Amino acid sequence: MPLDQPINARVDALNTALKHHAAADVLRRAFQAAPNLALVSSFGAESVALLHLAATVKPDVQVLFIDTMLLFPETLTYQREVAKKLGLHRVQVLRADTLAEDPDNTLHQRDTDACCDLRKTRVLDQALKGFDGWITGRKRYQSGNRAELPAFEVEAGTGRIKVNPLAHWTSADVQEYMAENALPRHPLVARGYPSIGCAPCTSPVAEGEDPRAGRWRGQEKDECGIHFVDGKMVRTGATQ
């Protein structure tokens, strides 16, 4: 596929060609279509599946990990352990300069949207300026807005390719893949955290609750803001 072809045409062609293909095929074609791709990972509850798959397809895959400096200590330890186990040698840890806007680390108590924007969205946007696109772990089952999630998208406002190789996977598919490949589990999952973000804004989930119920509990918010549709922040579903 010509790299000088308009981005929308390239994405349409990729989605048509790979509509019924496996996630590994999507990743291989993604790296052919846009060699300079980064995988953005939270090293959360299900992240290891995509990280393993990407490392299998492209051992030197560039991984971007946002350390908000408010993460659980277990997440930081898990990130290092997973990177070592999978041989991920190109993990770039991103951190915001919070001194001017959140010097005492209390912004999340006043305005969670502003905190996420400072510590995640702006940091990632700056880092991605050096890439042709990025790979996410979003899946169709995660919300109604993602029910038609394609394998390839054009990111609104940037022209970057956004790749969703696990778009058609179910939660059971993820768990099966992790078990088959003996992948390490995030330690907080066993303690009632099926979705893991920053420590101040994540709580355990009771049996029968939605897996995302522990994220920003009690607020009209369940997305950090790094994913956009038509230039607007997506408020439903899960990140990686």
**What is the reported pTM?**
0.87
- 233 within some domain: no
3-state secondary structure of 107: helix
- 104 within some domain: yes
Q: Which of 115, 116, 201, 224 is catalytic?
A: 224
Q: Cα separation of 185 and 122, whole Å?
A: 29
- 219 within some domain: no
Q: DSSP code of 94? A: E
- Angle, CA of 172, 174 and 180, to the nearest 5°: 100
Active site residue 201: no
pLDDT at 228: 45
pLDDT(239) > 50: no
Structure tokens at 216: 């920003």
Q: Which long-range contacts (CB under 8 A, 24 or more apart) does 218-223 make?
A: 219/112, 221/112, 221/113
Q: pLDDT (tens digit, 9 = 90+) per residue, 17-68? A: 998 899 999 999 999 988 899 999 999 999 999 999 999 999 999 999 999 9
Stretch 82-91: mean pLDDT: 98
Number of compact structural domains in the chain? 1
Q: Cα separation of 26 and 17, whole Å?
A: 10
pLDDT(124) > 60: yes
- 132 within some domain: yes
- 217 within some domain: no
- Whichever domain contains 21, its CATH number is 3.40.50.620
pLDDT at 179: 98
Cα torsion at 131, 171, 55, 186 (round to 10°)? Answer: 100
Q: Which domain holds residue 138?
A: 7-187
- 230 within some domain: no
Question: What's the whole-number average pLDDT of the chain?
Answer: 87
pLDDT(157) > 60: yes
- 150 within some domain: yes
The single residue listed with the structure tokens 């696109």 is 133
- Angle, CA of 112, 198 and 172, to the nearest 5°: 115
- 93 within some domain: yes
Q: Cα separation of 228 and 65, whole Å?
A: 19
Instruction: Count CB neighbours of 206 within 10 A.
Output: 9
